[in-house]
Structure 1
Amino acid sequence: MIGWIHQQINKITAVSGLLLLAALAAYIGGFDGVRQGTLVAATAIAGVPIAIKAYQALRMKAFSIELLVTIAVVGALLIGEYVESAAVTFLFLFGAYLEARTLEKTRSSLKDLVDMAPQEAVVIRDGNQVNVPVEDVQEGETIVIRSGGKVPVDGRVLTGQASLNEAAITGESVPAAKTQKDQVFSGTIVDHGYIEVIAERVGDDTTFAKIIELVEEAQETKSKTEKFLNRFANVYTPAVVLLSILVYALTKDLHLAITFLVVACPGALVIGAPVSTVAGIGNGAKHGVLLKGGEVMDQLSKVDTIVFDKTGTLTKGKPEVTDIQVFNGHDSTELLRLAAKAETISEHHLGQTVVREAASRKLKLAEGDVQGEVLKGNGLLAIVDDRQLAIGNRKLMEKQGILIPDEINNHALTKEKEGNTAVFAAVDGEIAGIISIADQIREDAVEALTVMRRNGVKQMVMLTGDNRHTAEVVADRLGLDAFHAELLPEQKVEYVQHLKRTGHVVAMAGDGINDAPAIAVADIGLAMGEGGTDISMETADVVLMADKLNQFSHAYSLAKATVRNMKQNTLFAVGIVFVLLIGVLMGDIHLASGMFIHEASVLIVILNAMRLIRFNRSKGKKRMEALPAEV
């Protein structure tokens, strides 16, 4: 029965409103008895769902707003104020209806995401193309997607080429070109073209499904402000009841005490913070930024120091081999082949760059397992074709007791001063060559860092395992406050901890893989990774789906705006209650008018929060030009 009443709440509100209109007609017609009976009926019909909610809250040992309204309505009926009892119950239900409708809009970003989820897939089975529900697709199956179709799985393009709208994943509206072996994500749309995709992740394992899950969880996670206000409401509500009793004891005016009870309802105060959080997180999702809850939003707004990894964060993370210099009679092509085969065991950006260079030169990496060990922050040791390889930085060579002659070291220094990373390659204990690799600073880096400084970031630091010369080039071009080079992952963690101990609120931005430990210990961990890696989506507090620093500056500006919005709502709600209480004590505010103003104040804080849905830090601002630079 109770469940049915809650389901019919909108109809109950409508009936209550119609009865109020009928009572008005009876009053105009002079049928006073009918008027009173209609008003009592309207009060009873609208009051039942309110009383039920009050009872349910009491069973949970909570004092709700519905309890205050129920007490006030019962009191109004006892003193014969039928107009006010009917008006209060109707306004309360109607206000709740408007709040629910308005709150739906604050969750529109999540609803849009859910609506974009594909429902069917065209799968090749037994040589035929078959339409199947998306949940029936199996890993390893081939999916066909034509123009206008939605990609139903995460996978790689097997054949064909197409232009994909990836806004659902990255927040970027500009279509991305996809060809053979390129990664595609569930929920993206083929603007034009034809592709066949091998399913690598299906169902709840897809990036799109995880985004929806994370946003849902984030919108349910309360901020510190929300938690405080909830605790405050649990104390405030019974205090209002006691104050109302005190008002009656002092004035002997039951109507005044009841009115005091209604206008003191903390509705706008309780709803102001969570609706801001929901709207802010929804805005982030719309722009390809996953913020994991209200506490993350609150903490991000307080960040005064940002620590960046270099490769893949400040730079594009897509370095290229610029030079291969060989020594001691070695052949450059053979050295590249050996190094590339060794680097197949590594996931590091630089190692994968060497592998890609070998592939671009169509070098065949002889089949066979590579025995080796990756030494994080230094390089790797491997045995390839019965030859012992050591590939990495100077520290690795020193640890292995491999001598670096002055001629070779000078060549490496020259390349590093030009902005390259010098990778030493030793074969059988002797330096065989240096592979020079250069990355590029992100085009949006200068603009993004400038915006964050303007919004309150006081210090920006770069930590990298790369050499000092390359790090200095990047730091100078981006105007960073400091940089520390040739660091191991554990040294990055120690530096972040040092900043926290000295009173800084620290955000650490990295690629979510090599920097996972430092990201985890920072006050705010931020991972950049196109499409979102499992590690970044689990470890970081903030994930940038489009892999762009401008999204970071948007997240920081959004957090500031969201917290500011919460404070505005809280101050407004407290101010309204204060003004209403003074009005009641002065006799200017009555029961029905007090409830009307109360519900209006709730709607105002919701509408104020809804402004966050349209928040865009770059709107109306002239974009700054950032010169791409090879580093």
Structure 2
Amino acid sequence: MKIWKTWGVVAVSGLLITLSWITGWDWLMIAAAVVAGWQIAVSAVQALRIRMISIDLLVVVAAVGALFINNYWESAAVTFLFALGKALERATLNRTRQALSDLVEAAPETATVLRGGEPETVEIWELEPGDVVLVRNGEQVPVDGRVISGHGGVDEATITGESVPAEKSEGSEVFAGTWLRAGLLRVEAVGIGSDSTLAKIIHRVEDAQDDKARTQTFLEKFSRYYTPGVMVAALLAGLFTQNIELALTLLVIGCPGALVISIPVSIVAGIGRSAKDGVLIKGGEYLETAAKVDAVVVDKTGTLTNGRPELTDVDVLNTAYTRDEVLTLAARAETASEHPLADAIIRGARDRGLAVELVEKARPVAGRGILAKVDDLEVAVGSAELLEKTPDNTRILELNDQGKTAMYVGVDGEAVGIVAVADTIRADAPAAVEALHARGIKVIMATGDAERVARNVAAELGVDEVRAELMPEDKLTIVQELQAEGRVVAMVGDGVNDTPALAQADIGVAMGAAGSPAAIETADIALMADKLPRLPYALGLARRTVNTMRVNIGIALVTVAVLLAGVLFGGVTMSIGMLVHEASVLLVIGIAMLLLRPTLKEEAPVQAQSAELTSEAARRETLTA
């Protein structure tokens, strides 16, 4: 029915115009104008009821006026072209909202739940939190939940925008609407239906696409006065020149259609594209603000760095021992420690394929380290105070100057080696900082860590400014100082300790928001994947969108100016004016649709790694079967 109302009217009107040309019967032109124009007239009347003078009213007045002066062709052409333009607009606007449609279609409808140990297919609404659902290879994950058993590769493109599967095993989070590409998973349901991350994303994108930018709000206010102004100007022109056709032509060319649609279509396309790439932008106003960002304040821990200590160095001080032996002694001793650095040493040893057996006897020494019995040896890991012989501390100081935490490994009171740990820089952080710099954006690292550690990280990344040993309120002060300098500031933080600074910043950014419903709802920009390069991508897309808006506004204004000149100097008729008007509207929409082109580039090493994970998942599934 909708298709008939849209395209059927256009087809019938076009057929009547063609028959009129063939037969020469004027009444067919009048019929064509009525067929194409009656829906336009209904829209104009509905607008008048709410005291609004719409573009439709301009077209109706021009078409009726043309009939009264016996210019039947112009009346039919104006209404036909306007109806055709509207039909094409709807079709292309639907295309700009395709990202939202894809998200809605991604919502699962059924699930395989385990009840009494037997699989049973049920509707999503029949599930309850705590139910265990079975997800097989090639099936859609029906709920947000936690993997309780199994292993596989999950395609999370609908949520994070990642083009390659993510490895999932016991304890991993999974999201409704994603697809299991290899393996078999049993998932405990946590978020179902409207409580799922996918549902929250859909809701957020719907609101964002309907949200108006400041420029759009201004243009809507402008058009409230502009459209009546066109009618008054056309009336005055007709009275002054006694040329009714001129007045009617001015009504047609004065239609601000391209001007009015130039902003919303760009916003819908920009926000839709970003959502498809796993970046949620709160709305048009925030899109415009993000395009102006010229300073980014970034927390260090967990944003620029991995957020947990890693083993970085193993040095040998006694040639009777090898590096692996020094590391094995340290790791075994640390199995009795609950210190966060102990886990880094143990993981480092196991990553190198070393056997790390538990020790039965150990004694932590507060503020110094740990003493443990490893086989028949007394092993110490920590400061020099744990050793009987004072070692040369040159290497320790050198490592400390690099921002690392270095510890002696001693055997029977003598230092045999050194191990060092540090919070390592994220693999994608250098590329992200470089991309921000390429866009002319200043990068400020703000952290509560020690000055020495912060400066080493900053030097490696090439950030513009370092602020260390900060309290949460100090980050707020930094944002305020930058804003006082006239900068537009984006703040990237964890949303807990950084809440004051995030609220003060012009744009608050949450990273890795897929597992945080609160971040999805509250952040101005939410990066669904835990990937820092998505930040420069989001800011770049915002700039592209705003530039598109400006280009479209320019096209709309130039079109009206050219048509006006054509009318004044002769040669532009009502039908030509409407044709050019509708062409400008479609051109504006077409330019906005260029924003829908994928521009996000993934790193090849990540893709290769994910492919390996998927292959491994498939292998395990085969073995299980």
TM-score, length of structure 2 as denominator length: 0.81
RMSD: 3.4
1:93 aligns with 83
1:347-370 CA-to-partner distances (Å, cap 9, x unmatched) read xxx99989999x998999xxxxxx
Higher mean alpha-carbon deviation, 511-520 vs 306-315, is at 511-520
Correspondence list, 1:70-469, <5 A = 70-320=60-310, 333=334, 336-337=337-338, 416-420=400-404, 438-457=422-441, 459-469=442-452
Q: Is the 8 A contact 1:513 1:536 kept in 2?
A: no
Secondary structure at the counterpart of residue 424 of structure 2: coil
Q: Name the CA shift for 1:567/1:83 in 2 (closer, same or farther; >3 Å).
A: same
Tell me if 1:25 matches 2:22.
Answer: yes
Which one-letter code corresponds to 2:337 in the other structure? L
Q: Name the CA shift for 1:323/1:204 in 2 (closer, same or farther; >3 Å).
A: farther
Tell me if 1:478 matches 2:461.
Answer: yes
Q: Is the 8 A contact 2:310 2:424 kept in 1?
A: no
Secondary structure at the counterpart of residue 59 of structure 2: helix
1:597 aligns with 580
- Given the alignment, which residue of 12, 15, 23 partners 2:12? 15
Q: Name the CA shift for 1:323/1:139 in 2 (closer, same or farther; >3 Å).
A: farther
Q: Is the 8 A contact 1:165 1:174 kept in 2?
A: yes
1:429 aligns with none
Q: Name the CA shift for 1:49/1:416 in 2 (closer, same or farther; >3 Å).
A: farther
Tell me if 1:46 matches 2:47.
Answer: no
Q: Is the 8 A contact 2:436 2:443 kept in 1?
A: no
- Given the alignment, which residue of 511, 520, 525 partners 1:528? 511
Which one-letter code corresponds to 2:402 in the other structure? E
TM-superposed CA distance for 1:22, in Å, is: 2.0
Which one-letter code corresponds to 1:448 in the other structure? A
1:382 aligns with none
Q: Is the 8 A contact 1:510 1:528 kept in 2?
A: yes
Which one-letter code corresponds to 2:82 in the other structure? F
**Alpha-carbon distance in structure 2 between the residues aligned to 1:167 and 1:12:** 40
Secondary structure at the counterpart of residue 187 of structure 2: strand
TM-superposed CA distance for 1:612, in Å, is: 0.7
**Alpha-carbon distance in structure 2 between the residues aligned to 1:312 and 1:99:** 45
Q: Is the 8 A contact 2:280 2:527 kept in 1?
A: yes
1:538 aligns with 521
- Given the alignment, which residue of 497, 506, 510 partners 2:493? 510
1:485-529 CA-to-partner distances (Å, cap 9, x unmatched) read 111111111211221122111011123333233212100111111
**Alpha-carbon distance in structure 2 between the residues aligned to 1:489 and 1:355:** 32
TM-superposed CA distance for 1:25, in Å, is: 2.3
Q: Name the CA shift for 1:93/1:407 in 2 (closer, same or farther; >3 Å).
A: farther
Which one-letter code corresponds to 1:211 in the other structure? I
2:610 aligns with none
Q: Name the CA shift for 1:213/1:354 in 2 (closer, same or farther; >3 Å).
A: farther
Correspondence list, 1:606-625, <5 A = 606-616=589-599, 618=601
1:562-618 CA-to-partner distances (Å, cap 9, x unmatched) read 111110000011000000011112221001111011000100011011111115165
Q: Is the 8 A contact 2:447 2:470 kept in 1?
A: yes
**Alpha-carbon distance in structure 2 between the residues aligned to 1:276 and 1:416:** 52
Q: Is the 8 A contact 1:452 1:557 kept in 2?
A: no
TM-superposed CA distance for 1:272, in Å, is: 0.9
Higher mean alpha-carbon deviation, 109-118 vs 299-308, is at 109-118
Q: Name the CA shift for 1:547/1:127 in 2 (closer, same or farther; >3 Å).
A: same
TM-superposed CA distance for 1:12, in Å, is: 2.2
**Alpha-carbon distance in structure 2 between the residues aligned to 1:205 and 1:241:** 51
Which one-letter code corresponds to 1:452 in the other structure? L
**Alpha-carbon distance in structure 1 between the residues aligned to 2:191 and 2:77:** 55
Which one-letter code corresponds to 1:11 in the other structure? G
Which one-letter code corresponds to 1:271 in the other structure? I
Q: Is the 8 A contact 1:171 1:288 kept in 2?
A: yes
Q: Is the 8 A contact 1:520 1:539 kept in 2?
A: no
Q: Is the 8 A contact 2:334 2:346 kept in 1?
A: no
Secondary structure at the counterpart of residue 129 of structure 1: strand
**Alpha-carbon distance in structure 2 between the residues aligned to 1:83 and 1:411:** 92
Q: Name the CA shift for 1:303/1:390 in 2 (closer, same or farther; >3 Å).
A: farther
**Alpha-carbon distance in structure 1 between the residues aligned to 2:291 and 2:532:** 17
2:378 aligns with none
Secondary structure at the counterpart of residue 144 of structure 1: strand
Identity within the alignment, %: 46
- Which structure 2 segments of 5+ residues have no match? 315-331, 369-382, 387-392, 408-418, 606-625
TM-score, length of structure 1 as denominator length: 0.80
**Alpha-carbon distance in structure 1 between the residues aligned to 2:597 and 2:574:** 36
**Alpha-carbon distance in structure 1 between the residues aligned to 2:421 and 2:203:** 39
TM-superposed CA distance for 1:477, in Å, is: 0.7
Q: Is the 8 A contact 2:143 2:192 kept in 1?
A: yes
Which one-letter code corresponds to 1:217 in the other structure? D
Higher mean alpha-carbon deviation, 175-184 vs 311-320, is at 311-320
